[in-house]
Structure 1
């Protein structure tokens, strides 16, 4: 697989996200797999993964799939999360109450870009690109 500019992109994580996924365990596994990243960069990747996976659990009826890719030079981590809903993430608002809805705001602050693409099966993929500082 290649990334823009012919930089090789390697798959770090590709896993099913069940409804009962343990987010703390997922963050711990990411730290082990991406342990050579700087502390701040690793924190940003963990934050993005947590928020995107939480959105699947909180806002869609089904389960999801998480993929994390890494490019070495320049150092970039891309997170992709598939779900079964065509409903797009809502920036800054939540149907779960006024104290929620800031997840995508945090994702945007930790990434160089994020977005969505609809999948042929009716679901979507939400992606976020986390550059090294």
Structure 2
């Protein structure tokens, strides 16, 4: 399992993407995970980490694990409130990230994290 704790800064999104790319590289090289899967993983991780930075509170924890034929990414922060998938106006400049997670992932969900506050947003991608 890969685990990193990042500050609540917009730069953390790029750092998370870079670390995820590096962690997945051996699997891509061994043809165990496709580049398309990693591209989808990076897109969705950007959305979920951005949500934690913008709407969450405290440090952002990113965990990635490979279990069988899937990758599971979890992003936790100390903020309250769960992300929602809502109807967006056609001219809205943001708010579509979780809709992308729902569309592209095999499964996704939210849950309360450890402690009195905090949440975890997770998604899974099939590797086959």
| 2:73 is the alignment partner of 1:83 | no
- Are the aligned partners of 1:48 and 1:79 in contact in 2 as well (CA < 8 Å)? no
* Unmatched runs of 5 consecutive residues or more in structure 1: 1-10
Q: CA deviation at 1:68?
A: 0.3
Separation (CA, whole Å) in 2 of partners of 1:118 and 1:67: 15
Separation (CA, whole Å) in 2 of partners of 1:49 and 1:99: 19
Separation (CA, whole Å) in 1 of partners of 2:79 and 2:15: 25
* Unmatched runs of 5 consecutive residues or more in structure 2: none
* Counterpart secondary structure, 2:111: strand
Compute the TM-score of the two structures, normalised by the length of structure 2. Answer: 0.82
Compute the TM-score of the two structures, normalised by the length of structure 1. Answer: 0.79
- Are the aligned partners of 2:62 and 2:73 in contact in 1 as well (CA < 8 Å)? yes
Separation (CA, whole Å) in 2 of partners of 1:51 and 1:42: 14
| 2:24 is the alignment partner of 1:34 | yes
In the TM superposition, what are the counterparts of 1:1-133 in structure 2 within 5 Å?
11=1, 13-20=2-9, 21-35=11-25, 36=28, 37-71=33-67, 73=68, 75-92=69-86, 98-121=92-115, 122-133=117-128
When the two chains are superposed, the root-mean-square deviation of aligned CA atoms in Å is 1.9
Q: CA deviation at 1:98?
A: 2.3
* Counterpart secondary structure, 2:36: helix
* Counterpart secondary structure, 1:88: coil
1:74-116 superposed Cα distances (whole Å, 9 cap, x missing partner): x20000111112201011368xx92110000111112111111
- Are the aligned partners of 2:112 and 2:118 in contact in 1 as well (CA < 8 Å)? yes
Counting helix residues as a fraction of each chain, which structure ranks higher? 2
